[in-house]
């Protein structure tokens, strides 16, 4: 049986580790170049090829993975001039691993299915470290036959691959997952600020919560920043968080749902980005909320551009 040829767009923080695992599992890999040449050149040195355009990538591959910022980038890559749709042939499978908008995913799937092209969504759970280790989880929205086609390739970088429904279902669940975690992030920030208002330190706060029923993996990476000021403890920017929460709001609007808590959480991250903190990582929302409340949780690490 001929080896499946893989294309990859978005070899950044998460994508580089995913692409590296595909190479190590024996899949022929072609990547689309990016202004950040380091990850591209590393993958080429490991045996990958580089395509000149998205259309060229589509024409050369059986499965193309996307791991980009969000819906705007996905739509441009697929529908844009010289995009994937322009070079795609019947039988191509496109798998969007970005955190994107379910409404766009459903529309792209309908458009491409009519041309014999499968569009699947497979947003991810995990960190860049887990991406490098091949230990991510993937929630896949796809037609049953398309899922069976793409599952072996996804398994190269994900130890947990779950078929959650039709195209769009994966992105829906990913948004809800991010709403939960980012909601916790906003709640932790407010709780820490209120504690500081009455002289309770983050260390004392943590001594009560850590190991209790309210502890979890997200709490641990969040508090690693708060307590140790490790800016890389949880590498996901406030700008990306705000983007995902806008998508949650859009989903609520599209379905006619009331999202009382979601709107409030979105506004916490919107305010942070409005204050120029979009490049900060998610646990640093604690510093933003503390500052608004006139307290400090500790020294705020300086980053390039701050």
Q: What is the DSSP letter of 303?
A: -
Please, is 222 exposed, middle or buried when counting C-beta atoms within 10 Å of its C-beta (0-12, 13-18, 19+)? buried
C-alpha to C-alpha distance for 31 and 210, rounded to whole angstroms? 42
Tell me if residue 153 falls in helix, strand or coil. helix
**What are the start-end ranges of the H helices in 128-235?**
128-133, 144-154, 169-197, 202-209, 217-228
How far is it, in rounded angstroms, from Cα 260 to Cα 85? 38
DSSP string, 133-147: HT-EEEEEE--HHHH
Tokens, residue 277: 């903190």
Catalytic residue, chosen from 5, 20, 25, 174, is 174
H-assigned helices in the chain: 15-24, 37-45, 54-60, 71-79, 84-87, 102-113, 128-133, 144-154, 169-197, 202-209, 217-228, 238-255, 260-274, 285-292
Active site residue 174: yes
Place of tokens 């646990």: 283
| Active site residues per annotation | 174
């Amino acid at each position: 049986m001929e080896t499946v040829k893989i294309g990859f767009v978005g070899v950044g923080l998460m994508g580089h580790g995913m692409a590296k695992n595909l190479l190590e599992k024996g899949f022929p890999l072609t990547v689309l170049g990016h202004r950040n040449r380091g990850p591209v050149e590393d993958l080429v040195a490991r045996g990958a090829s580089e395509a000149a355009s998205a259309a060229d990538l589509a024409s050369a591959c059986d499965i193309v993975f996307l791991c980009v910022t969000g819906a705007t980038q996905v739509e441009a890559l697929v529908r844009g001039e010289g995009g994937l749709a322009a070079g795609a042939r019947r039988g191509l499978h496109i798998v969007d691993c970005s955190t994107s908008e379910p409404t766009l995913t459903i529309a792209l799937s309908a458009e491409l299915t009519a041309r014999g092209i499968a569009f699947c969504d497979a947003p991810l759970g995990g960190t860049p470290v887990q991406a490098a280790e091949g230990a991510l989880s993937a929630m896949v929205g796809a037609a049953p036959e398309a899922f069976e086609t793409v599952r072996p390739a996804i398994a190269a970088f994900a130890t947990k691959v779950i078929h959650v429904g039709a195209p769009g279902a994966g992105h829906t669940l990913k948004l809800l997952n991010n709403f939960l975690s980012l909601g916790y992030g906003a709640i932790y920030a407010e709780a820490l600020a209120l504690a500081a208002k009455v002289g309770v330190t983050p260390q004392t706060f943590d001594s009560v919560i850590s190991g209790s029923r309210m502890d979890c993996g997200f709490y641990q990476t969040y508090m690693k920043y708060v307590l140790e000021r490790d800016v890389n403890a949880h590498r996901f920017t406030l700008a990306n968080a705000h983007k995902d929460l806008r998508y949650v709001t859009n989903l609520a609007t599209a379905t006619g749902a009331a999202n009382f808590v979601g709107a409030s959480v979105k506004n916490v991250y919107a305010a942070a980005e409005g204050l120029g903190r979009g490049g900060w990582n998610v646990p640093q929302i604690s510093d933003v909320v503390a500052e608004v409340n006139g307290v400090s949780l500790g020294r705020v690490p300086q980053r390039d551009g701050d």
